[in-house]
Amino acid sequence: MRKKVGILGGTFNPPHIGHLIIANEVLDALKLDEVRLMPNATPPHKEIQNKITAKQRLTMVELSIKEVPMLKIETIEIDHGGTSYTYDTMELLRKREPQTDFYFIIGGDQVEDLPKWYRIEELIQNVHLVGVPRPNNLLETAYPIVTLNIPQIDLSSTTVRNRIANGETTQFLINNAVRDFIRKEKLYET
């Protein structure tokens, strides 16, 4: 029997409750075997803020999911280093795990940009794209994606970073272990 694995990529700078809600909701709705959170080394369309290292982001993801057995970490992009495109990463994963069906999870903001994605036509032939709503984004596209209506939270890593920099609370927005790590490493402080 083929394994069904969700992949949720991102900078996770830092990972927050919104990431965990998305991963858990897709896991449940599609009856996946697991969802892997995949921090990217250098995203092609985004600059990593605050000079946080890939290792620090990886550690924060590990801390945020350690008590949820069906959520795992995927290090393929960090291990590879440099800029990663979804098509290339998913091809590497498919070669590494030929008995796995992959479900690549994207937010509504990314659904709008699908026509600009590198080798999108080939990607959609090989991987299931799963679109989840984000506040102020529609899940409308000509591409064949699985759309899920899941609870939304208007929260971003930028919001969390700003709250930390301003000395505001992040209680319930990020995992306690992640918050402790951020304090210990003095991340996002002004």
CA distance 149 to 1: 28
Residue 153 belongs to some domain of the structure: yes
Residue 110 belongs to some domain of the structure: yes
Q: CATH number, domain at 58?
A: 3.40.50.620
Q: How many structural domains comprise the chain? A: 1
Residue 95 belongs to some domain of the structure: yes
Half-sphere exposure of 163 (CA within 13 A, CB side): 17
- Give me the residues paired with residue 100 across strands: 3
Q: What is the mean pLDDT of the chain?
A: 91
Q: What is the pLDDT of residue 135?
A: 74
CA distance 54 to 39: 8
In angstroms, what CA-CA distances link 135 with 132, 145, 155, 173?
10, 18, 9, 16
Q: What is the pLDDT of residue 50?
A: 56
Q: Do 68 and 24 contact (CB within 8 A), yes or no?
A: yes
Q: Is 153 helix (H, G, I), strand (E, B) or coil?
A: coil
Dump pLDDT digits (tens) for 15-58.
999 999 999 999 999 999 999 999 998 755 555 555 889 999 99
Q: What is the pLDDT of residue 72?
A: 97
CA distance 34 to 161: 28
Residue 147 belongs to some domain of the structure: yes
Q: What is the pLDDT of residue 152?
A: 86
Q: What is the pLDDT of residue 160?
A: 96
Taking the chain (190 residues) in runs of 10, the rounded mean pLDDT of each run is 95 95 97 97 60 92 95 95 91 96 92 91 95 81 90 91 95 96 92
Residue 190 belongs to some domain of the structure: no
Dump pLDDT digits (tens) for 8-19.
999 999 999 999
Q: Which structural domain range is residue 69 located in?
A: 3-185
Residue 59 belongs to some domain of the structure: yes
Q: Give the helix, strand, coil percentages of the chain, each rounded to 5.
A: 40, 20, 40
